[in-house]
Amino acid sequence: MTSMRCMSLAGAAPSSNYADARPNETPTSYLNPVGAKVFCVGLQKTGLTSLLRLMPEFGLNARGSDATQRRNFFRRRDYDAVLRYYDTADFFCDWPTPLMYQLAYEKYGDKALFILTVRKDSLTWCESLKRHNAYAHPIKNKHRWVFGRYYPHGFDQEHIAYYEHHNRQVVRFFEERGARNQLLVIRVDEPQAVAKIADFLGIKIELAEFPHANASRGDRPGIGNRLKWHYNNLILELYARYAPRILKSVPRQLLPIEPGTHRRR
């Protein structure tokens, strides 16, 4: 795999080469410049959008959260459908990919690379997650599907524990399989982050600045976002104050899907 990966991006196919492909079809004329599938297994609010915008600069077709695959994962538990979806592009991040890394490794083996994005510390991640939820849909908030709570507010320690456990579990998974070289742990805001990612992928590219995006500044445009922000602004303080007093049971949190435990279709 190393010989396939160590190449420049001269003449690399743009991400739009997949534009006309069917959901489970890869254009035969397209060459993945990395020579491997690339999965970001970091949780949300760890720089996923930045990675998603970076990968086309590397010549990779990149896909983020997909509504159909969220339904396959969270509602239908059809994990094989998600695995088939992984055949259609080069790079994947966001839900449900952070919980699919074990199955992805089982399927692709040493033809896959994994990036674990993290924040400066757990508290920074939790605060960013809380800001993100200021724009959550009042009814369709996906947060509860993973963390077992409608909002993180008032349940900071639960969410921090989940974040820390996830990161430890990812590293341990690859160490136990002697595949630590297939995992990169990185902060997108650390010095030389782009260069480190490019080196990990075996790509030569002159790009110094990371294309940051989706920062939680609280200024999302659109009437829908404004309505959600005003609603949540009223609710969140009450939720943080009273929900921990009422919701005493242990939350049902989702953990990574392990090989051999998923049903096949």
What pLDDT, in 10s, does the model give residues 224-263? 777 887 888 888 889 899 999 999 899 999 999 999 876 5
The whole-number pLDDT of residue 214 equals: 54
d(CA 155, CA 264): 35
Q: Residue 194 phi/psi, 5° resolution?
A: -65, -45
Predicted confidence band of residue 69 (pLDDT cuts 50, 70, 90): very high
Residue 159 clears pLDDT 70, i.e. is over it: yes
d(CA 97, CA 101): 6
Rounded to a whole number, what is the distance in angstroms from the first to the last CA of the chain?
A: 30
d(CA 38, CA 90): 6
Length of the chain: 265
103 vs 112, 166, 183, CA distance in Å?
Answer: 11, 15, 15
Domains of the chain, residue spans: 2-121+156-215
State what percent of residues in the chain have pLDDT above 70.
82
User: 235 by DSSP, 3-state: which?
Assistant: helix
Closest alpha carbon to 233 in 156, 146, 164, 138 = 138
User: 91 by DSSP, 3-state: which?
Assistant: strand
Q: Where are the beta strands (DSSP E) in the chain?
A: 7-8, 37-40, 62-63, 91-92, 112-117, 183-186, 203-204
Residue 205 clears pLDDT 90, i.e. is over it: no
d(CA 215, CA 195): 21
In tens, the pLDDT along 79-116 reads 999 999 999 999 999 999 999 999 999 999 999 999 99
Residue owning tokens 């449900």:
96
Q: Where are the beta strands (DSSP E) in 76-158?
A: 91-92, 112-117
Task: Tell how far CA 204 is from the center of its chain.
Answer: 24
State the CB neighbour count (10 A cutoff) for residue 158: 18
Record the tokens describing residue 169, joined without a space. 């579990």
The whole-number pLDDT of residue 264 equals: 52
Least confident of 2-11, 60-69, 139-148, 149-158: 2-11
Predicted confidence band of residue 31 (pLDDT cuts 50, 70, 90): low
Tell me, what DSSP letter sits at residue 74?
I
Pair type for strands 91-92 and 37-40: parallel
Instruction: Tell me if 49 sits within 8 A of 32, measured CB to CB.
Output: no
User: 62 by DSSP, 3-state: which?
Assistant: strand
The whole-number pLDDT of residue 16 equals: 35
Instruction: Tell me if 257 sits within 8 A of 103, measured CB to CB.
Output: yes
Dihedral through CA 155, CA 184, CA 51, CA 187, nearest 10?
60
Could you tell me which CATH class the domain 2-121+156-215 is placed in? alpha beta
